[in-house]
A and B are shown apart, each in its own frame.
Chain A
Amino acid sequence: MMRSFFYKGKSLNRNAFGILAAACAAFFLFFCVAACVASAAAQTPAEWERLSAEKSLGSPNAPIKMIVYDDYECPVCGELYEQTLRPLIDDYVASGKVYLIHRDFPLTIHLYSRQAARWVNAAARIGKFEAVERAIFDNQMAWSEYGTENPKGIIKPIVESALTAAEFKRVERLMHGCESNSQSEIKGCLVDAGIQRDLAEGELLPVRATPTIVISARGQQYPPMQGVISWPILRQFFDQLLSQK
């Protein structure tokens, strides 16, 4: 049968070779496209590492690494930030003892947490993560649905107050296409990809509530902790980790 496909009588069938060549070319093209897609997918973790570094504070070489899964609208996250993370940032992060990594875990029960995360992620892209995160948590009562002030859900002026005019323009450009308060990923919203990645990472852990804290030191990861831990108690644990040889 094969012989009859390639040979017409005793001469070669040119059409058959043409079909075969076209099939080979199509396969090669498909292979190239698949390889490109695969390599793009392989770059995603590195890209995510970069985004993660933009939302981190301190030295990556610090002996202690602490990951915090946060929801900007969750009151307990606000409490943890004000009572524990602020003194931690000013003391142990500033002195290079702790590398603090923020991960977004906006819960769907909170109306505006995803939008707040988008603003913070946009600010992180221009290196202004710390200032905007602080402003968002400091003014949580002004924009969150639990807030006592009106109007709720208006985050833009808070971000604007934490940045210079030029910085805010850059952040606004990054927020193009992200204006909706949608709690799911918006197509065309650049900063949503980082949030999605954080969410996926959190679900793997698994994060059961916010805030969730994961501490690791000297190659050992400790079990995730939920809720508010006061700074004196957390510092005690860090001191003990640092004193270990």
Chain B
Amino acid sequence: MTSSSRWSAGRTLLLIGRLALAVVFLAAAYGKLRPQSAVPWTLASLKITPASLGLSMTFFAMQVDSYQLLPPRAVSPFAHTLPWVEFAVGVLLLTGLALRYVSLASALLLALFYGVVIRSYALHLAINCGCFGPNEKLDAWTLVRDGCLFALGVAVTIAAFIVHRRNRPALAASPHCEHAT
């Protein structure tokens, strides 16, 4: 395998990785924002309306509260912000804009989630995860899944920084840059 083919394979893997992360973040945001229903896959429970939005976020606040990590005063602001942050990260990963910073932010978020899940599992908290919507038990599988997602986040961040670093000398060597200097 030549250096250039390795390079293009790496870029392809970065693209797949960031798209996978984008899907994960968008799915997590949608799971929290869509109408919360005991029967999860009805047509009515898939469509987000302004009326259902507030209720869904307050329902998510109850899930955040069950982790017993934040004081009640902080639970609501956190629960009302997190789904939108996840949505924004998902969209930015999809577009590839400011990839280094967005992938770093996604890795930090995933590290936070992973830490919280490990803590809850260690404390034997029998609660719902709330990660991709309601009625999702927090168990050993959640630990494995979140661990893999964290690893993916770190890999995408490292790859994004490497790609940026390799692209920079090429830009510096371009005639436009020479003219500028």
Chain A residues whose C-beta falls within 8 Å of the C-beta of B36 in the assembled complex? 222-223
Q: Tell me whether A244 and B55 are in contact in the complex, defined as CB-CB below 8 angstroms, given that A214-B38, A223-B134, A229-B62 are known contacts.
A: yes
User: A224 — nearest CB in chain B belongs to which residue?
Assistant: B135
A227 to B127, CA, bound (A): 5
Q: Tell me whether A230 and B38 are in contact in the complex, defined as CB-CB below 8 angstroms, given that A208-B137, A240-B54 are known contacts.
A: no
The yes or no answer to A236 lying at the interface (CB within 8 A) is: yes
The yes or no answer to A189 lying at the interface (CB within 8 A) is: no
Give me 20 A-to-B residue pairs in the complex whose CB atoms sit less than 8 angstroms apart, sorted by A's number. A208-B137, A209-B127, A216-B38, A220-B37, A221-B38, A224-B38, A226-B137, A227-B66, A227-B127, A227-B128, A229-B62, A230-B72, A230-B75, A232-B72, A233-B72, A233-B76, A234-B62, A236-B61, A236-B76, A237-B55
As a 0/1 sequence over residues 53 to 84 of chain B, the CB contacts with chain A under 8 angstroms (1 = contact) are 01100110111011010001001100000000
A28 to B67, CA, bound (A): 61
Chain A residues whose C-beta falls within 8 Å of the C-beta of B38 in the assembled complex? 214, 216, 221-224
A223 to B137, CA, bound (A): 12
Give, as a whole number of angstroms, the nearest-CB distance from A133 to chain B.
21
- Whether B72 and A240, one on each chain, are in contact in the complex, defined by CB atoms closer than 8 angstroms, is no
- Whether A222 and B59, one on each chain, are in contact in the complex, defined by CB atoms closer than 8 angstroms, is yes
A144 to B65, CA, bound (A): 26
Chain B residues whose C-beta falls within 8 Å of the C-beta of A232 in the assembled complex? 72
Q: Given A208, A210, A221, A227, which contacts B37 in the complex, CB threshold below 8 Å?
A: A221
Chain B residues whose C-beta falls within 8 Å of the C-beta of A241 in the assembled complex? 55
With A227-B127, A233-B76 given, can you name 7 additional A-B contacts, CB distance below 8 Å? A220-B37, A222-B38, A222-B59, A230-B65, A233-B72, A237-B58, A240-B54
A220 to B55, CA, bound (A): 12
Chain A residues whose C-beta falls within 8 Å of the C-beta of B51 in the assembled complex? 244
- Whether A225 and B128, one on each chain, are in contact in the complex, defined by CB atoms closer than 8 angstroms, is yes
Give, as a whole number of angstroms, the nearest-CB distance from B60 to chain A.
10
Give, as a whole number of angstroms, the nearest-CB distance from A213 to chain B.
9
Chain B residues whose C-beta falls within 8 Å of the C-beta of A220 in the assembled complex? 37
A208 to B75, CA, bound (A): 24
The yes or no answer to A76 lying at the interface (CB within 8 A) is: yes
Q: Tell me whether A225 and B62 are in contact in the complex, defined as CB-CB below 8 angstroms, given that A220-B37, A241-B55 are known contacts.
A: yes
Q: Tell me whether A233 and B135 are in contact in the complex, defined as CB-CB below 8 angstroms, given that A221-B37, A223-B38, A226-B128 are known contacts.
A: no
Give, as a whole number of angstroms, the nearest-CB distance from A78 to chain B.
14
User: B35 — nearest CB in chain A belongs to which residue?
Assistant: A220
A228 to B72, CA, bound (A): 12
Give, as a whole number of angstroms, the nearest-CB distance from B8 to chain A.
45
Chain B residues whose C-beta falls within 8 Å of the C-beta of A244 in the assembled complex? 51, 55
Give, as a whole number of angstroms, the nearest-CB distance from B14 to chain A.
37
The yes or no answer to B125 lying at the interface (CB within 8 A) is: yes
- Whether A225 and B126, one on each chain, are in contact in the complex, defined by CB atoms closer than 8 angstroms, is no
- Whether A223 and B135, one on each chain, are in contact in the complex, defined by CB atoms closer than 8 angstroms, is yes
User: A231 — nearest CB in chain B belongs to which residue?
Assistant: B72
A229 to B137, CA, bound (A): 16
A226 to B40, CA, bound (A): 17
Q: Given A209, A223, A229, which contacts B126 in the complex, CB threshold below 8 Å?
A: A209
Q: Which 4 interchain pairs have the tightest Cβ spacing?
A: A209-B126, A223-B134, A227-B66, A227-B127
- Whether A236 and B37, one on each chain, are in contact in the complex, defined by CB atoms closer than 8 angstroms, is no
User: B40 — nearest CB in chain A belongs to which residue?
Assistant: A223
Give, as a whole number of angstroms, the nearest-CB distance from B133 to chain A.
8
Chain B residues whose C-beta falls within 8 Å of the C-beta of A224 in the assembled complex? 38, 128, 135
A214 to B36, CA, bound (A): 12
